C-alpha cells in the first residue's frame, strides 16, 4: 500500500485505502476510480472488493483489477474470477497471472509451463474478449489489448522488478488515468504504463540499486514534464 499510495500522490491523484465492507456504500461513490488489488488477500476482503466493484459499475465509473498471483491457489483464482465477472474496465497482471485467469475464463488448458510473451498475448486477447475488459500484461514489453487491437509500451528498466509492488503501483496509476479519460481505457492504460516506466528510466539514471531506484522513480514521476515524456515514450501498435 505504501508505494501504491505514494505513486498516486506523486502523480497528482488522491488515494484512499478502504478494506471494510461496511464503508463501501458511503465511500465508494466519492471515488472517481477504484483499484482492486488481491495482494495479501483475506477472506473478509472479497465481499468488500466485489461490492465496491459492483457499485462502481452501477455508477458508470471505471474500476481496475490487479489479479496478484491469480494462479497461486484455488481460493485466489476463484476470488479473481468472481471479480472478473463484475466487468473490470481494465485487468493488469504479469504473464503468469493473465494466463491463469485466461485459461479458466476461456477454457484453455496446458499453458502453465510456457509463459512466454506470445502465450501471454494470446491469453490476454482471449481474456479481453471473454471479459469485455482491457487487458494489460506487464513484462519486458508491456502489451495492452481490447481483444482485437494490441498496443505495446516499450519503456521501463528490468530493475523495477526488484522492487516489491511496482506492479500494484502501476495498476493503481492506470485507475487514475482511466478516471481522467474513461471513454478511452486502452489509451489511458497504455499511457499510465508508459508514464510509470519512463519515471523508472529517469530514476535508473540516478539509482545504485533497487531501493534508490524506488525513491528516484517516485521523485521522477512527481517531476515528470511533458518534454521528458514525449522524448522518451515508445508506444506502438502490434
Strands of 134-138's sheet in order across: 34-37, 63-66, 90-94, 134-138, 142-145, 150-153, 235-237
Q: Does 169 sit near a copy of itself (CB under 8 A)?
A: no
Out of 32, 141, 219, 233, the only residue in the binding site for a copy of itself (CB under 8 A) is: 219
d(CA 1, CA 18) in angstroms, rounded, equals 11
Interface with a copy of itself (CB under 8 A), residue from 34, 52, 135, 163: 163
Closest by CA position to 200, among listed 186, 179, 176, 216: 216
Binding mask 34-73 for a copy of itself (x = CB under 8 A): -----xxxxxx------------------------x--xx
Dihedral sign computed on CA atoms, order 206, 211, 217, 219: negative
Segment holding 23, helix H or strand E: none
User: By CB under 8 A, is residue 225 in contact with a copy of itself?
Assistant: no
Contacts of 50 by beta carbon, 8 Å cutoff, 6+ apart: 82, 83, 86
Please report how close the Cβ of residue 25 comes to a copy of itself at its closest, in angstroms.
Answer: 8
Give the residue with the Cβ less far from a copy of itself, 72 or 238: 72
Asked if 236 interacts with a copy of itself (CB under 8 A), we say no
Q: Which stretch binds a copy of itself (CB under 8 A): 58-66, 105-113, 168-176, 201-209?
A: 201-209
What distance lies between CA 105 and its chain's CA centroid? 19
Q: Which is nearer to a copy of itself, 130 or 228 (CB)?
A: 228
Given the rule CB under 8 A, which residues bind a copy of itself? 1-3, 5-6, 9-10, 15-20, 22-23, 25-27, 30, 39-44, 69, 72-76, 161-165, 207-212, 214-223
Amino acid at each position: 500500500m505504501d508505494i501504491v499510495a505514494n505513486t498516486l500522490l506523486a502523480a497528482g491523484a488522491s488515494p484512499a485505502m478502504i478494506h471494510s465492507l461496511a464503508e463501501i456504500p458511503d465511500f465508494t461513490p466519492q471515488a472517481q476510480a477504484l483499484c482492486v488489488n488481491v495482494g495479501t488477500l483475506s477472506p473478509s476482503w472479497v465481499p468488500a472488493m466485489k461490492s465496491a466493484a459492483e457499485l462502481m459499475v452501477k455508477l458508470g465509473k471505471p474500476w481496475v483489477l490487479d489479479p496478484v498471483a491469480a494462479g497461486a491457489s484455488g481460493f485466489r483464482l476463484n476470488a479473481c474470477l468472481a471479480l472478473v465477472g463484475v466487468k473490470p474496465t481494465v485487468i493488469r497482471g504479469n504473464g503468469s497471472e493473465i494466463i491463469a485467469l485466461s485459461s479458466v475464463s476461456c477454457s484453455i488448458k496446458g499453458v502453465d509451463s510456457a509463459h512466454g510473451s506470445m502465450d501471454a498475448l494470446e491469453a490476454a486477447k482471449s481474456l479481453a474478449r471473454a471479459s469485455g475488459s482491457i487487458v494489460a500484461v506487464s513484462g519486458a514489453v508491456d502489451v495492452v489489448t481490447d481483444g482485437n487491437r494490441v498496443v505495446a509500451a516499450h519503456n521501463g528498466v528490468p530493475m523495477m522488478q526488484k522492487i516489491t509492488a511496482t506492479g500494484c503501483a502501476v495498476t493503481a496509476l492506470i485507475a487514475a488515468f482511466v478516471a481522467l479519460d474513461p471513454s478511452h481505457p486502452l489509451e489511458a492504460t497504455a499511457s499510465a504504463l508508459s508514464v510509470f516506466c519512463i519515471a523508472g528510466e529517469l530514476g535508473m539514471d540516478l539509482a545504485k540499486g533497487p531501493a534508490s531506484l524506488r525513491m528516484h522513480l517516485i521523485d521522477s514521476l512527481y517531476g515528470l514534464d511533458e518534454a521528458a515524456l514525449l522524448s522518451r515514450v515508445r508506444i506502438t501498435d502490434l
